[in-house]
A = this chain, B = another copy of it.
Amino acid sequence: MPSVRLVRRYVFSSAHRLHSAELSPEENARLYGKCNNPQGHGHNYAIEVAVTGPVDARTGFCCDLTAVDSAVRRAVLDRFDHQDLNALPEFARLVPTGENIARVVWDKLIAEGLPLTSVRLQETRDNFFEYRGD
């Protein structure tokens, strides 16, 4: 059967601060700039979740859409939306950069059993991070 890639976009709003425990205060300030401000800041994040599968001849669907939505909701939105990412256990030892958020979202959705192809995180209108699991 031919295989189609379905992409669904979801949004969430969170606070974060870029600060690495492995760097000195000076290194943190230089590397992260204003993203290192102690009070933190925040973003409207958007994630584009791509799943791929063969198109079912009877239903015309390549994936169980309800399963995708509920996995993303349970694993990502319910945990990240309207939260401070730095206060979450997921980022206790991981700086919540776009790169790391994309990877954490990937790992969570893989653990949910989704046939995941890529995760694309938009942090600001001109800044995107894409992870494909490799």
A131 to chain B, nearest CB (A): 5
Chain A 30-64 near chain B by CB (<8 Å), digits 1 or 0: 01001101011111100010100001001111100
Majority SS at the chain A contact face = mixed
Q: How many residues of A contact B (CB 8 A)?
A: 61
B87 near A39 (CB under 8 angstroms)?
Answer: yes
Q: Given A8-B126, A13-B42, A20 and B82 touching (CB < 8 A)?
A: no
- Chain B residues lying within 8 Å of A126, measured Cβ to Cβ, are 8-10
9 inter-chain pairs at a CB distance below 8 angstroms, sorted by A residue, are A2-B131, A3-B134, A5-B131, A9-B128, A20-B59, A31-B61, A35-B82, A44-B124, A62-B129
